């Protein structure tokens, strides 16, 4: 490690700007959790997960592309990407059907930005991966099967 960086960290007492803002009361933990949808992330079935994000039964769409390996050698780190070509995309959610908790990730897409997300998810076994997209107030989905050779959820 660079000695100058080490001296700077010592002088700062290890406090980051974020830490200072929290200490000053400018950022409250409640604000960070306001967007947390506990019901959606705790859902144990696809229908409950769809309902928790307000999707009901989304229509399938060819305008949503899922990028994921056909075969994942290690279920602990499976790269998944979603691109939505639907105009007015507001939200993208990634769900893994056979995981203990269906909703793996949820992203809010700001207006005027490219509707493309990339993440890594855990998969306990071979399963369908669903991309649920909210665009102009309506929900759409696409799915892709990913085969897992070594489970990532304790397998």
pLDDT tens figures, 69-106:
999 988 999 999 999 999 999 999 999 999 988 899 99
Most confident of 2-11, 27-36, 41-50, 79-88: 79-88
CB 153 within 8 A of CB 123: yes
- Say which residue, 115 or 124, is predicted with more confidence: 115
CB 128 within 8 A of CB 97: yes
Which pairing describes strands 59-60 and 138-148: parallel, antiparallel, or unpaired?
A: parallel
Does the pLDDT value for residue 2 go beyond 70?
no
Q: Show me where the domains of the chain are located.
A: 1-34, 43-148
Mean pLDDT is lowest, of 41-50, 52-61, 94-103, for: 41-50
Q: How many helices (H) and strands (E) does the chain have?
A: 5, 9
CB 92 within 8 A of CB 80: no
CB 133 within 8 A of CB 64: yes
Q: pTM of the predicted model, to two decimals?
A: 0.74
Share of the chain above pLDDT 90, in %: 53
pLDDT of residue 91: 94
Per the listing, tokens 């507001």 go with: 90
Which residues are within 8 A (CB) of 125 and not within 5 positions of it... i.e. 6 or more apart? 75, 98, 148, 151, 155
pLDDT of residue 33: 47
* Cα separation, 5 vs 61, whole angstroms: 50
CATH 2.60.40.2470 fits 43-148, yes or no: yes
Q: From the CA atom positions of the chain, what is the Rg in Å?
A: 19
How crowded is residue 57: how many other Cβ atoms within 10 Å of its Cβ? 10
Nearest to 39 by CA among 51, 30, 52, 55: 52
């Amino acid at each position: 490690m660079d000695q100058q960086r080490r001296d700077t960290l010592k002088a700062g007492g290890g406090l980051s700007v974020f830490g200072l803002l929290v200490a000053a009361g400018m950022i409250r933990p409640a604000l960070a959790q306001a967007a947390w949808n506990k019901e959606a992330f705790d859902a144990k079935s696809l229908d409950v997960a769809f309902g928790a994000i307000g999707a009901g039964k989304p229509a399938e769409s060819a305008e949503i592309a899922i990028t994921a390996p056909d075969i994942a050698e290690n279920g602990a780190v499976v790269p998944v990407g979603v691109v939505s070509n639907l105009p007015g995309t507001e939200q993208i959610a990634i769900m893994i059907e056979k995981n203990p908790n269906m909703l793996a990730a949820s992203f809010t897409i700001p207006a005027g930005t490219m509707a493309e997300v990339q993440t890594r998810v855990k998969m306990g076994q071979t399963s369908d991966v669903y991309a649920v997209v909210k665009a102009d107030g309506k929900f759409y989905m696409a799915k892709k099967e990913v085969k897992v050779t070594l489970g990532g959820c304790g397998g």
